[in-house]
Structure 1
């Protein structure tokens, strides 16, 4: 084979140019590969962020009940951050049970407004297929099975308590928009929502708040806690606090598993965040027995927010069912929510009478002059929750005198109407007790009064944003003899006016 010498003996300059071309080609290939790799990494990163954002804003992540930390975001609607709090800003989480719903649903249906109130009743299981869920009831959700949470291995835990404690988390994780407050309660809790909004509006919903009240019976507070809001009376948690609470709740519950109630578990977890209880006296756990009359007849200076344990106390009005009692109470409440059960008293010096009014509920007529210090104290018509004893309670009480001549003549609400654009008129009929034995002249004259008519201006809700102060009242037909009807007007107190007799 003849070899071409020109192929093996090239010019040195030609060889250098050839090598340079090869080097440049390899550099271009390397650069292309690097660019493709970088582009691939950018695509992967973009897809990761996209999928994370997409899935975190849906309920797909919520199917993981054991996940403590979810990507929650606080989003306030445009131009709505500083708007007044209304019912759409509140989400109710009601702990309930399929087993008790039929006997307790009327308590929720008294205050729930379909398509207006927001929230759910949380059940341990779905209702039977043959049961039609009432449209007048709150919609229901089924709680996550506790066996799917990290607390499943806790053999000594109260599973019903854990389930109810997690209602705040499950409510939050629904991701509903425009929520400022989460309000927790039981299926036998009656809320008074207009007053609840008035109270919540006092607080900055962008701060961390835990609002409620303790038990009335001291033994309950000793056994459970003085620092927690009792769940039956209901409590409110602001959105920012809820956002922190739900991240730690499942792990935190394990630390407080020996506790008796779900409300105590929730308080324990909130204490780890460092938020104390803000007390509002209008939440009523009603940890009492027998008649709640004395407590409601001398209601604290606070708007009525809730009533609980109504199956365990006498009806609010005598000779009626508890449901009928609540409906009657709400006839006055609907006219003037902020004034409901507000306690005031005045004196008729022409007849030496003391008149104690719990607006929209009852009037007590004493045929003697009593001091304000006595009248503002609750008559002891009830007993403690656990021991059925006459105390102690977390507020002052005074015993009901066994002497019939030291007891008041009692009247109960029997009518409530508007008396003008901003005026109300409530009427109260005399309640006749069996065996009225006091024959003193003063009592005979007092018992001749068959009815009270009480006029009042509608209470400005802003009243509850100011320092609390009891209003005054006056008898406006005092000079017309005794009569069968006494007319009373509730009004603001005049400067330097005293509500005690001279």
Structure 2
């Protein structure tokens, strides 16, 4: 049997299937590859354009609007950005970034404007006293001529008769002074600071406090009342306006959109500061407390409060007319002027405490720098020395408390009471030093004590304290009270005791 083998076809029109498949797939692969490459190129390019448009500085300034990421509903682009306030966000906060809004009236301003002369610095501080009417009709009054020439420039508030109120018509007007200041569109504003016409600000310390916060965020910063009865009646969450409070630009911008309507919602509130607090609460911004804002809601002698100031920079004092003079036998204004003289020498250190002991004589010494020194004829623990002596009463009921801080009663035994010395003068020494001197108070205290030890204390007529000026950056670190040292081995020459304030050594303690 013979077998025949199939011969391959020699028909030129018939192409083998394998060759046909290979030939037709090549154009398809090329086209597919081209489209894939084009798609990836477009995708990468789109992502890069989107990222550039959304996150470049030009996009935030509003000059690049194409392909911007959508803003959340109801927000104003740039409202919370520092460029919205027109300032340089990279520059540290300084006094030029703060605008003061001071509430006053035509009737009160001539008498109280002198307090502003203690802290207002022409050509350096910015702001206005907002009055209830134009004082031109009072221009013949000599008091007005003095007030107009030496203190904060004034403006007249807008008409507020359209707003509802239940008990205080002026509170509505004063609540709006931050809003009217905001609408002036002043350049490079980061903070709006409110106060009353009898508020005294320690401006350099205010700058130190506010510089710790990011002005591009919404902040509401201030302090409570000292008297619990006031906080319970109004709110612990409220910054009391006389002691002053600060609103960051973004919060002021947000408040400006709702404030007038908000005033009518809270027309039953008594104070202007309570209205601002309620409106900030609607936005969701709580009070950030700073211990240096002082409402001074106390009656009587403020000595115990000021002599034991908390470990924080002194920012403000209010209600000066409602308490005794801070230095006996001087007018209220003169005593504040004396306090300001030491503040100008070393702003961060004013009222800061330092303790030291003379263990041989068993004396305790407490310095409240720039204000007072106390010498106890016994060894007193540090936790007692830093606690305010109750020389004052509550604001409304004039009782011994309660207060929003611990207090201790005055010593009933005259032989245990301290000898008290008040600031006489302060001066700069060299490039970075200071010298303050304190004279013993002649209030008659201690005359009832016949102790020989107390007589040795009373032999000191004058105390001189030297120190290096405190760096404002100190308040950006963990707080620690500085120490003091008794000089000349405690010897008393010509009735003068010399002390020195210094940084505490790492392991140094104030131990009896």
Q: TM-score normalised by the shorter chain: which range applies?
A: 0.7 to 0.9
Contact 1:338 1:461 in 2 (8 A): yes
CA distance in 1, matches of 2:414, 2:246: 43
Which of 134, 141, 161 is equivalent to 2:155? 141
**Structure 2 equivalent of residue 256 of structure 1:** 266
Matches within 5 A, 1:230-249: 230-249=240-259
Q: TM-score scaled by structure 1?
A: 0.83
Which of 388, 396, 415 is equivalent to 1:405? 415
SS at match of 2:198: coil
**Structure 2 equivalent of residue 127 of structure 1:** 135
CA distance in 1, matches of 2:304, 2:490: 31
**Structure 1 equivalent of residue 99 of structure 2:** 91
Distance 1:155 1:481, change over 3 A: closer
Matches within 5 A, 1:144-183: 144-147=158-161, 149=162, 151=163, 154=164, 156=166, 158-183=168-193
CA distance in 1, matches of 2:395, 2:452: 39
1:72 offset after TM fit, Å? 7.3
1:480 offset after TM fit, Å? 3.1
Matches within 5 A, 1:420-439: 420-434=430-444, 436-439=447-450
**Structure 2 equivalent of residue 384 of structure 1:** 394
1:156 offset after TM fit, Å? 2.9
Distance 1:418 1:239, change over 3 A: same
CA distance in 2, matches of 1:438, 1:487: 25
Which of 339, 344, 366 is equivalent to 2:349? 339
Is 1:81 the equivalent of 2:94? Answer: no
C-alpha distance after superposition, 1:227-262 (max 9, x if no partner): 010000000000001000111001111111111100
C-alpha distance after superposition, 1:289-330 (max 9, x if no partner): 000000000000011100000001000100010110011001
Is 1:276 the equivalent of 2:290? Answer: no
**Structure 2 equivalent of residue 117 of structure 1:** 125
Contact 1:362 1:412 in 2 (8 A): yes
CA distance in 1, matches of 2:488, 2:266: 60
1:135 offset after TM fit, Å? 2.3
Is 1:350 the equivalent of 2:360? Answer: yes
Which of 311, 335, 357 is equivalent to 1:301? 311
Aligned CA RMSD, in angstroms, stands at 1.7
SS at match of 2:488: coil
Contact 1:76 1:178 in 2 (8 A): no
Contact 1:233 1:286 in 2 (8 A): yes
Which of 197, 215, 219 is equivalent to 2:225? 215
Distance 1:252 1:157, change over 3 A: farther
C-alpha distance after superposition, 1:349-396 (max 9, x if no partner): 121110000000000000111111111100110000000001000000
**Structure 2 equivalent of residue 366 of structure 1:** 376
Q: TM-score scaled by structure 2?
A: 0.81
Which of 484, 492, 496 is equivalent to 2:495? 484
CA distance in 1, matches of 2:233, 2:92: 39
Is 1:198 the equivalent of 2:232? Answer: no
CA distance in 2, matches of 1:377, 1:229: 23
**Structure 2 equivalent of residue 100 of structure 1:** 108
C-alpha distance after superposition, 1:14-71 (max 9, x if no partner): xxxxxxxxxxxxxxxxxxxxxxxxxxxxxxxxxxxxxxxxxxxxxxxxxxxxxxx9x9
Which of 469, 479, 486 is equivalent to 1:475? 486
CA distance in 2, matches of 1:184, 1:261: 13
Distance 1:267 1:298, change over 3 A: same
Contact 1:95 1:167 in 2 (8 A): yes
Distance 1:257 1:76, change over 3 A: closer
1:463 offset after TM fit, Å? 0.5
Unaligned runs of 5+ residues in structure 1 are 1-68
Range moving further from structure 2, 392-401 or 158-167: 158-167
**Structure 2 equivalent of residue 462 of structure 1:** 473
CA distance in 2, matches of 1:72, 1:462: 30
SS at match of 1:99: coil
Distance 1:429 1:479, change over 3 A: closer
1:417 offset after TM fit, Å? 1.1
C-alpha distance after superposition, 1:378-419 (max 9, x if no partner): 011000000000100000000002221110000001011112
Distance 1:482 1:444, change over 3 A: farther
